[in-house]
Structure 1
Amino acid sequence: MIQIVEHTAAESPCAIGAALAATGHPVRVCRVWAGERVPDTVDGMVALVVLDGPPSVRARAAQLALLRAALEAEVPMLGIGTGARLLALAADGGAGNRSHVPHDEDDVRVLHIGPSAWGLRFTPVPHADGVYGRFAALVADRAERTTTRAFFTRRAAGWDERFTHNGPRYAAAARRMELRSGQRVLDVGCGTGRVPPALRDQVGPGGVVAGIDLTAAMLTAAARQGRGGQGHLLLADACRLPVGAGAVDGVFSAGLLNHLPDPRRALGEWARVTAPDGVLLLFHPSGHAERAARHGRPLAPDDPLTEDNLLPALRATGWHPACYEDAPHHFLLRAVRRAD
């Protein structure tokens, strides 16, 4: 969902609204001038746009809080006029070390804050469509990643407390990789880093362990728990790993594959970075079929974790399935990288 904040009826979304609607994502307008409340969180947002116009004192505080949350989660943002000034204030208020780099683009004053936030100092008339089009393209390109970051960023600090009881089960699953001393292993979608200690136990001090996650707040939480000492913590996309071909001996991933927009692409990328005879282990602390039943829904025919879908996808991407378990209390898949 694309959220637009409108301060006055005279400053409607118009051209930027049309450019964003063309991305195919639903557009929601919050009319603060009519008394509508600004959202409390960025959950579900793929973009945030704040238009020009005078906000009330109450609306201003709520918008600053929302903008800071969006900056932390790297939600693409565009502020116009008043929106740009609020964006700059939000960044100055502790949303992180982000530089403000103003420069002129086709006579439109643009303020860049971090990797995905733009501010237009004045409501532009000429040349604005180029800026709007580029922003819409950014939103469309990052939509899936943005949704993930928006969901996990505000939950990262309390994630371990919610799922402390699952720690031993993750460790037991990691041991089923049967890694050897000195080997190299990735935990893709590592979250707060519960699994790297168990992987370190297997590969020993001479091995290499790296936890990879898309959400910076999750890696920050892992570092605060002292888990950075168990291995490297890397910010990266699961489908674009910053690792060379055949560089690792194993990939562990828990609760991630079925949430990715293209699971087969992820399996192919994980195969690319894994050496021949390396191991892939997919895990979840509750059974896949059992989770669906618990939520009162049948397994969808195209669900990527069903045996009929997952095993052919593994074979097509260079893996040999060795074990498939969809038990009442866990889901586990173990596969071995085929030699090309």
Structure 2
Amino acid sequence: MGVLVVQHVREEGPYAIGEALLVAGLRLRVCRVWAGDPLPESLAGVEALVVMGGPMAAHSDAGFPARRAELALLRQALAAEVPVLGVCLGARLLAVAAGGAVRTGSGSQLGWGEVRTAPAADRDPLFAGAPERLRVSHRHGDTMELPDVAVLLASCERHPVQAFRVGGSAWGLQFHLEADEAAVDAFVTTFPEEAATAPGIRDTAPGEPAEPAPYRDLVFGRFAALVAARAAHTATRTFFAPRADAWEARFAADGPRYAAAVARMGLLPGQTALDLGCGSGRALPALRAGVGDTGKVFGVDVTSAMLMAAAREGRAGPACLLVADCNRLPLPPGATHGIFSAGLLDHLPAPPVALREWARVTASGGTLLLFHPSGRAERAARHGRPLSPDDPLGEPNLMPMLDDNGWQLVCYEDKSAYFLARAVRVADEAHN
């Protein structure tokens, strides 16, 4: 699906935002709310969510039938850490979705005006390096109160909240930084009466959009790069985040199988063990039992919602839970003695890269246990497909892949009731 752009009125398209996303190689799907396009019910397949402006009120359903559906999508995006950019109305909807409030302001703010960046902008992934004073295009009358989870990035006297960030991947812009000359011309032509309340806007329009161009390109270029860099992780999060709350109940019967698999790792007291792609943490208690009170256990997952589910199940006690990329682990070489991974390797875009990284953080002689509580054939049949000869977990594929990336396969079992492959980390000199 690419980047979902929600457009409320014909004239308020993504303009410079869309250009930056296209330059980054991303695809746009524009949902024209004004033309009756239906909003998707979920963000499956969505790499980012961009919500544009419009004359509707973010705090009222009156004249805004799509409001609740848009808020639901924004809440899904926040929960799954999907990159979000909200502009004008989109920014106010983002504030409401995050727990803030929107109200009618002291009067409309229209035309070109100055905003000042806040101290936090210096450390922001999008706004770092932007000048302290930005001259931008305004067209709004409502104002907002940010929730505690938001970080203020820019303000002005009349409407104090002009730009903000929620978490690490959602931004709201009250102003129209995306406005280029085409956008200004569309506004002046389509809304002449409103434009007339801002004296000189037509005369200054040809020159004004060039002024914010450098930081406009900086901000939107960084957003597009962030979307592209996180695309694979975003797909994982949009799949697992909505399922996190029910994950444990759905697979509760698998607990004994996980414990039996962990027992075959041969962990010793005082060692360090990782569960990569740990989900709700079914293997973590068994890993803790293996390394004892003096050992260390880390549960690693890219989906925060899954780690929150693990914490609710009481598994933050047996393990330290980390949000991390399993292809770039925040650990020094040789830090662990055992890696447990259930149902992860064959879903990664580059399994050899992952295996090499896992070997980097594993001491010589350490164990890698790949596991699934059902066999390959059973899983394929459940999904209505035949076994693929290219399946990375197939023994003819897995053995050389392990061998090329620092591991030696010592046990391979593909039963109807489970899949298990055990490998040992070979010394680098032996591997070379």
**Under TM normalisation by the shorter chain, which class is it?**
over 0.9
- 1:98 partnered with 2:149: yes
**SS of the counterpart of 2:316?**
helix
Q: Aligned letter for 2:287?
A: L
Counterparts in 2 of 1:90-169, with a 5 A limit?
Answer: 90-93=97-100, 98-103=149-154, 110-124=163-177, 125=180, 126=209, 127=213, 128-169=216-257
**Post-superposition offset of 1:138:** 0.8
**SS of the counterpart of 1:92?**
coil
- 136-145 or 6-15: which moved more? 6-15
Q: Aligned letter for 1:87?
A: L
Alpha-carbon separation, structure 2, partners of 1:246 and 1:52: 51
Runs of 4+ in 1 over 6 A off after TM superposition: none
**SS of the counterpart of 1:57?**
coil
What TM-score do you get using the length of structure 2 for normalisation?
0.73
Per the alignment, residue 279 of structure 1 pairs with 367
Deviation string, structure 1 residues 293-331 (Cα, Å, up to 9, x no partner) = 333323334322122221111111110110112222211
Per the alignment, residue 330 of structure 1 pairs with 418
Q: Aligned letter for 2:326?
A: A
Deviation string, structure 1 residues 86-145 (Cα, Å, up to 9, x no partner) = 1122223599852222238xxxx6433321112222223332333322211111000011
Counterparts in 2 of 1:70-109, with a 5 A limit?
Answer: 70-93=77-100, 98-103=149-154
Alpha-carbon separation, structure 2, partners of 1:123 and 1:93: 21
Of the three residues 279, 292, 305, the one matched with 2:380 is 292
Q: Aligned letter for 1:229?
A: G
Q: Aligned letter for 2:88?
A: G
Per the alignment, residue 38 of structure 2 pairs with 37
Alpha-carbon separation, structure 2, partners of 1:319 and 1:192: 27
**Post-superposition offset of 1:265:** 1.1
**Post-superposition offset of 1:25:** 4.2
- 1:179 partnered with 2:249: no
How many residue pairs get aligned? The number is 336
Alpha-carbon separation, structure 2, partners of 1:118 and 1:99: 9
Decide which structure has the larger Cα Rg and report it: 2
Over the aligned positions, Cα root-mean-square deviation in angstroms equals 2.0
Alpha-carbon separation, structure 1, partners of 2:291 and 2:244: 27
- 65-74 or 274-283: which moved more? 65-74
Per the alignment, residue 225 of structure 1 pairs with 313
**Contact 1:101 / 1:113 at 8 angstroms: preserved in 2?**
no
- 128-137 or 278-287: which moved more? 128-137
**Contact 1:72 / 1:96 at 8 angstroms: preserved in 2?**
no
**Contact 2:95 / 2:147 at 8 angstroms: preserved in 1?**
no
Q: Aligned letter for 1:65?
A: A
Deviation string, structure 1 residues 243-279 (Cα, Å, up to 9, x no partner) = 1111111000000011111111111111111111000
**Contact 1:46 / 1:75 at 8 angstroms: preserved in 2?**
yes
Q: Do the aligned partners of residues 272 and 192 (structure 1) sit closer, same or farther apart at CA in structure 2, a change above 3 Å counting?
A: same
**Post-superposition offset of 1:38:** 2.4
Structure 1 gap ranges (5+): none
Counterparts in 2 of 1:196-235, with a 5 A limit?
Answer: 196-235=284-323
Q: Do the aligned partners of residues 303 and 166 (structure 1) sit closer, same or farther apart at CA in structure 2, a change above 3 Å counting?
A: same
Alpha-carbon separation, structure 2, partners of 1:130 and 1:210: 37
Deviation string, structure 1 residues 184-234 (Cα, Å, up to 9, x no partner) = 111111111110111122221121111111111111111111111112111
Alpha-carbon separation, structure 1, partners of 2:148 and 2:390: 42
Per the alignment, residue 22 of structure 2 pairs with 21
Q: Aligned letter for 1:48?
A: L
- 54-63 or 2-11: which moved more? 54-63
